[in-house]
Amino acid sequence: MTDINISDLPEEYRELQTVVREFANEVVDPVSYQHDKDHSFPYEIVSGMAEMGLFGLPFPEEVGGMGGDYLSFGIALEELARVDQSVAITLEAGVGLGAMPIFHFGNDAQKEKWLPELTAGTKLAGFGLTEPGAGSDAGATRTTAVEDGSDFIINGSKQFITNSGTNITSLNTVTAVTGERDGKKEISTIIVPTDTPGFVAEPAYDKVGWNASDTHPLTFADCRVPQENLLGERGRGFANFLSILAEGRVAIAALATGAAQGCVDESVKYAKERTSMGRAIGEYQAISFKIARMEARAHTARLAWMAAAARMAKGLDFRKEAYIAKLVSSEAAMDNARDATQIHGGYGFMNEYRVSRHYRDSKILEIGEGTTEVQLMLIARGLGL
């Protein structure tokens, strides 16, 4: 694969784009505003995505996947996020943050137990890294897992955890301090099933955006899980999560690109319909130039995430490209949402309009899965600075 324009990709990618776009327009869009208004989790949409096989897109068939790659996954995320970011992040987190840690680091027994339902989309999993005082700073992790016989006893808390408290959430994978190594905290990754006594998904957050996405703080009070729930090598928990985040940044960049493109699409439509002084507002240069810049941002963001996905598919180091894609696409989404809201005028301030929801939703794209500042730091480091 040398060309990264969707129109020139193999037919299976274009067919996937068409199918997901139809699903987004015909199934997601009609209920998007109501779920946002009610802060309700879209179980019926998740079920529909599961039936389509979207949760299994980047996984091999032997673990219940569809045999695709992150390019196909990103295309699906783009089309969903164009209409509803809450739905898109539910899929993105369910795959990239829920199932991927078990796929990459789980042993055969763990994969056999957990992956089939996760790749089928009938169950979801959370990714428990962030704490009230720790995120990208691993040394600040305070959640502990103390050995007791053949078990770990986990105490601590996590926050901002997506897909962690739904009715179909089966587990949360968490980082915890399991000891000390060379004078530093030994951080490991442990699977905590949601029915574990002492585990509580606290009441959902009242968020600015992504209102139909499930997000909770988590508490662990003497949660006892068998040591066989250790995921991957002991002491490699934070390193493993960083590798998961690198892949996740490609996916979140695709999602952000979809949001940016959705703002373009809505603005073009509105600019052709809305008239002022006897002319469609799209005929005025102030509006048409603004939309042209929006399209340029979305196009650039798409090239960036697809370039990262292409390197990933070839087994090449894609981390720098992922950082750039995350940076460029999240800023494109936020800038396009602001401009689209301005173009829509008073209607852009009404939640019934898709652009207003993009305006609220897009800000988190510059924060979640690595802030803009973290991406800049990582890109600079890659340049030897």
Give residue-wise pLDDT tens across range 138-161: 678 999 999 999 999 999 999 999
| Alpha-carbon torsion (94, 98, 101, 103), positive or negative | negative
Residues 196 and 276 in one domain: no
Supply φ then ψ for residue 174, to 5 degrees.
-130, 150
Domain of 228, CATH number, reads: 2.40.110.10
Provide the CA 196 distance to its chain's centre, in angstroms.
26
Residues 252 and 354 in one domain: yes
Q: What is the reported pLDDT for 3?
A: 40
Residues 245 and 377 in one domain: yes
Residues 254 and 206 in one domain: no
Total domain count for the chain?
A: 3
Of 103, 123, 143, the one marking the end of a domain is 123
Supply φ then ψ for residue 160, to 5 degrees.
60, 40
Catalytic-labelled residue, pool 273, 331, 369, 373 = 369
Of 216, 236, 256, the one marking the end of a domain is 236
Token duo for residue 22: 């139809």
Residues 133 and 80 in one domain: no
Residues 225 and 359 in one domain: no
Residue 372 lies in a domain: yes
Tens digit of each residue's pLDDT (9 = 90 or more) over 312-362: 999 999 999 999 999 999 999 999 999 999 999 999 999 999 999 999 999
Residue 1 lies in a domain: no
Residues 306 and 372 in one domain: yes
Q: Does the pLDDT of residue 6 top 70, yes or no?
A: no
- Yes or no: say if 200 and 155 are a contact pair by the CB < 8 Å rule: no
Residues 218 and 254 in one domain: no
Residues 226 and 279 in one domain: no
Residue 65: which of 54, 74, 51, 76 has the closest Cα?
Answer: 54
Per DSSP bridges, beta strands 215-226 and 151-162 are antiparallel
Residues 155 and 171 in one domain: yes
Q: Is the pTM of this model over 0.85?
A: yes
Q: What is the reported pLDDT for 133?
A: 82
- Go through 353-374 and write b for each residue having 16 or more CB atoms within 10 A of its CB, e for each that does not: bbbbbbbbbbbbbbebbbbeeb
Nearby residues of 316 by Cβ (< 8 Å), 6 or more positions away: none
Token duo for residue 276: 């002022």
Segments in 143-284 forming alpha helices (H): 237-273
Residues 282 and 177 in one domain: no
Token duo for residue 36: 């946002």
Q: Say how far apart CA 261 and CA 246 lie, in whole Å.
A: 23
Residues 153 and 278 in one domain: no
Mean pLDDT across the chain: 94
Domain of 285, CATH number, reads: 1.20.140.10
Q: Say how far apart CA 97 and CA 35 lie, in whole Å.
A: 23
Residue 153 lies in a domain: yes
Burial (CB < 10 A; 0-12, 13-18, 19+), residue 193, is middle
Annotation marks residue 369 as catalytic: yes
Band (1; pLDDT cuts 50, 70, 90): very low
Residue 48 lies in a domain: yes
DSSP 42: -
- In terms of residue numbers, what domain contains 132? 125-236
Q: What is the reported pLDDT for 369?
A: 86
Tens digit of each residue's pLDDT (9 = 90 or more) over 241-289: 888 989 999 999 999 999 999 999 999 999 999 999 999 999 999 999 9
- Yes or no: say if 91 and 23 are a contact pair by the CB < 8 Å rule: no
Domain of 46, CATH number, reads: 1.10.540.10
Token duo for residue 208: 């600015």
Q: What is the reported pLDDT for 238?
A: 85
286 to each of 27, 139, 173, 359, 361, how far by Cα in Å? 35, 50, 49, 20, 26
- Yes or no: say if 225 and 154 are a contact pair by the CB < 8 Å rule: yes
Per DSSP bridges, beta strands 169-181 and 151-162 are unpaired
Tens digit of each residue's pLDDT (9 = 90 or more) over 20-36: 999 999 999 999 999 99
Of 105, 123, 141, the one marking the end of a domain is 123
